[in-house]
Chains A and B, each alone.
Chain A
């Protein structure tokens, strides 16, 4: 399997008003006409604001340390903590990935808020997050197909900051990527720029498995994704 870079169209994401509403907290059967209209308009705007890119690099020769719940990749040790370690430990190689929705959707969100339109800014912000995550999902599909060609399977995506994996480890993750990979950078607080970006690991191997529902593994009871997925 080779390192790969992708560009996606916003329309590839199939984002719709209902999905954005659910991320905002609206449950099945709940909606608000005014909000739905604003989201529909913002989704049209986002088509030109979002520049979806994703890339992964494949690392073989990875070493897991069960007592430390860590993995060593290219000489760098990642303290995955119990949950992520448990999901990745059977991996024979690791795809380290970055994806982004680009700079402009975040800029539009900040501009709307600065101009006093907090609601429009919030809607762009949520769409940007979903677009970055959606780019990761599309990249993961490509990885899955490449893995299957070699008789391998892949795990779910796991990112620093989730399931107790310290977000600070994002700095080490960036050391594994080529300079200016996707044009994404990370600052001293582990914040990525563009802010609507995602980083993480996907395990590859014969014995690994993809879990349709992973929220039961995590102890973040108030996480919005637990409520909607």
Chain B
């Protein structure tokens, strides 16, 4: 790996956003993911090299550490912030189409449910995996999911629910999507959701942690 890509990856893994970030103490005063990404682009490194050679592997390390309970939610969120510091420099290339991402994922918390932390974690890990994420927020109706699917054909769908009461709405949303788009892949998650429930409602994939979703999506990367 190119040295600067290694440095960017290290910043993301350790949550070093920019020069002003005082953590980790050993990197105080040094450039962070923000400045290093700018520097890498200015020195001619292509955006996709930064994405695939630094950000995606760094977030994969973070996701795996979280799955193994070596780090916790706050550290994941620090890494996400550092990743965003790098990503802001790449986004113009995504919007012009000069750099392509792996596909689109539409994500949201189902109708009646206002919990968003778990959904946000998954959204940010999927984005860190190189995908474009369309986050519909919380309390998302089946109709809103369907409308967004129509606007983004072929996108993958992620549904979150945190309550046993709103799991029923997850089932309704899966049924509504299946009725119009039988071939779309639907991922589900949330505290009360299980693999068995996923199978029972006709969704395609359940993961107890965000990295599981990223790993599942890899096989479909464009």
A residues in contact (CB < 8 Å) with B: 24-26, 32-35, 38, 110, 113, 116-119, 121-123, 125, 161, 166-168, 187-191, 195
Contact = CB atoms under 8 A, between A and B. Distances in A.
B155 interface: no
Contacts of B73: 24-25, 122
Contact of A187 (B112, B116, B164): B112
Given A118-B81, A122-B77, A123-B74, A189 B166 contact: yes
A219 B77 CA distance: 29
Contacts of B72: 24-26
Contacts of A168: 164-165
A117 to B, nearest CB: 8
B183 interface: no
B201 interface: no
A119 B166 contact: no
Contacts of A116: 84
Contacts of B15: 34
Interface in B73-131: 73-75, 77-78, 80-81, 84, 112-114, 116-117, 120-121, 124
Contacts of A33: 23-25
Contact of A167 (B75, B78, B165): B165
Contacts of B24: 33-34
Contact of B80 (A34, A35, A118): A118
Contact of A122 (B22, B74, B164): B74
Given A116-B84, A190-B163, A32 B74 contact: yes
Contact of B77 (A25, A119, A161): A119
B84 A189 contact: no
A75 B164 CA distance: 25
B165 A190 contact: yes
Nearest to B75: A32
A113 B74 CA distance: 13
A120 B162 CA distance: 21
A118 B120 contact: yes
Contacts, number: 68
Contact of A35 (B75, B117, B120): B75
A98 to B, nearest CB: 18
Contacts of B116: 110, 113
B165 A189 contact: yes
Contacts of B166: 189
Contact of B113 (A24, A117, A161, A189): A189
A25 B163 CA distance: 21
Given A113-B116, A123-B74, 6 more contacts: A32-B74, A33-B25, A34-B78, A35-B74, A161-B164, A191-B113
B87 to A, nearest CB: 11
Contact of A113 (B22, B81, B120, B165): B120
B147 interface: no
Interface in B7-29: 15, 22-25
Given A32-B75, A35-B74, A168-B164, A191 B114 contact: yes
Nearest to B23: A34
A161 B167 CA distance: 13
A39 to B, nearest CB: 8
11 contacts: A24-B74, A26-B72, A32-B75, A34-B78, A118-B120, A122-B73, A122-B74, A161-B163, A188-B112, A189-B113, A191-B113
A29 to B, nearest CB: 14
A110 B121 CA distance: 14
A116 B81 CA distance: 8
Contacts of A24: 72-74
Contacts of A113: 116-117, 120
Interface string B129-169: 00000000000000000000000000000000001111001
